[in-house]
Amino acid sequence: MKLQKLISRLQQKHPRKIDLTLDRTFSLLKKLGNPQDKLKNIISVVGTNSKYSICQSLKAILNQAGYKCNLYLSPHLQSYTERFVYNDSEISDEILINLLEDIEKTLGDSPATLFEILTCAYIKYCEEFKDNLTLIESGLFHQFDSTNVFKKNLASIIGSVGLDHLQWIKNKTIEGIIHEKTVKLLNSNIFVNKQDNKEISSKIENALKNNQSKKYFFGKDFNVLKAENCFIQYEDAQGSIMLPEPNILGDHQLANISTSIAISRKLFNIKDQDIKNGITKIDLKGRLQEIKSGKLKELIGSNRLVCDGGHNINAAKAIANWIKQQNQDVHLIIGMMKDKDHQGFIKCFENIVKSITLIDIPNQKGSITKEELKKKFNGIKEKIYLSNSIKESIQLVSKYEDSLCLVVGSLYLAGEVLNLN
């Protein structure tokens, strides 16, 4: 409770949740002694989707090879401490409270958004572990994101890019999104993940033409293919590796893992055996995460329960592809925020699920009500139900035999599922 009270107080430091400028960030970092200039071994991660999955898969491989890692992630699912990973471990409540209180004193009466405060706090404490590899996930776009404060890095990773958060930029096109994410990338090494289509890949390549980095593109410089007998084959200029299937769900994750492997080989010369072992130890929360025990699993009985925080069309397409591979009926539970493409999202699931249950996301003022969401879903053939809670929704699905219950639509909703379980 003390941490949440402190977070609530810090949110009052600036009236707007998002305000795209780096002025406040650099001002606070200067007061803190410019810790960003003291860090080594930075890897910046940008993109609309896949940032978290790439960070976690890369961390798993690097850990297997003996490297220590720091991670800065956003948003969190259950606790703000998830965002602050140092020396491979999540920060404790106590240390984070002390850290944020120190930042609050340093900030004084100056304005700053919560994300700016959190980012500066993360970077300041990173000085304690400055020799580790530090993976920094951008919050929103990159150009004016408060993570864009470093003068040099080891590499930048571009995850999958799609249309999301359009309310924050003037050029509301895929070109506008790509520009925001790439225009300020540093000259070092750039690894580009698989994109939704070749057109987006070409647009990213064109946007990077004046960047002097060494560039590596999925499908051109490295690739991954499904092989027989539960194996996958990774390929790049150094040769191919036959790998076991990773311990996470969804074929879309193979591209994310291949990007991590490319970085591991190109920058760190990681041994094949460490890569093989690493990709079986990836820890993903809220990304096609199957819940195999706990209170909610008991509610659903012998049926499967999976949650995913996907909330845009690209994520919906990836989830839909996974659904098509399942040999059982799938029932969706959906809750979403107001600012998403609700109709585009649900269209991805037409004709592949048995039912859809709509709920309000608990504790989120920015969420769309289940009644309003139902209006957006007019014309959908699937049965649509309204439910008052996550538990009630899961109980509705429990009456079906040999079924899969999939909770989707928001990272906030995925977090609530994990909290309840």
Confidence of residue 16 (pLDDT cuts 50, 70, 90): low
Q: Could you tell me how many helices (H) and strands (E) the chain has, helices first? A: 15, 17
Q: Which residues are paired to 241 by β-bridges?
A: 234
Contact 112, 28 (CB under 8 A): yes
* Half-sphere CA count of 323, side-chain side, radius 13 A: 27
Note the Cα 151 to chain centre separation in Å.
24
Q: What is the pLDDT of residues 223-268, one digit of tens each?
A: 999 887 778 999 999 999 999 989 999 999 999 999 999 999 999 9
- In degrees, rounded to 5, the angle at the alpha carbon of residue 387 between the alpha carbons of residues 325 and 378 is 70
Phi, psi torsion values for 333, nearest 5 degrees: -120, 120
Note the Cα 73 to chain centre separation in Å.
8
Q: How many angstroms separate the Cα of 359 from the Cα of each of 193, 310, 371? A: 33, 16, 9
pLDDT of residue 15: 65
Per-residue pLDDT, averaged over 10-22, amounts to 76
pLDDT of residue 18: 63
- As given in the structure block, the two tokens for residue 181 are 């994410």
pLDDT of residue 167: 62
Q: What is the pLDDT of residues 273-321, one digit of tens each?
A: 999 999 999 999 999 999 999 999 999 999 999 999 999 999 999 999 9
Among residues 48, 94, 103, 44, the alpha carbon closest in space to that of 70 is found at 44
For the chain, first and last CA: distance in Å? 19
Among residues 291, 194, 278, the alpha carbon closest in space to that of 249 is found at 291
Phi, psi torsion values for 94, nearest 5 degrees: -60, -45
Please check the confidence at residue 416 and state whether its pLDDT lies above 70.
yes
Q: Which residues are paired to 49 by β-bridges?
A: 160
- Mean pLDDT is lowest, of 98-102, 135-139, 173-177, 193-197, for 173-177
Contact 307, 411 (CB under 8 A): no
Give the three-class secondary structure for 369.
coil
Which region, left, alpha or beta, applies to residue 79 given φ > 0 means left and ψ of -120 to 50 means alpha? Answer: beta
pLDDT of residue 139: 82
Domains along the chain with CATH numbers: 2-278 (3.40.1190.10), 289-420 (3.90.190.20)
- As given in the structure block, the two tokens for residue 282 are 């990836």
Give the three-class secondary structure for 235.
strand
Confidence of residue 14 (pLDDT cuts 50, 70, 90): confident
Cis peptide before 75 (omega within 30 of 0): yes
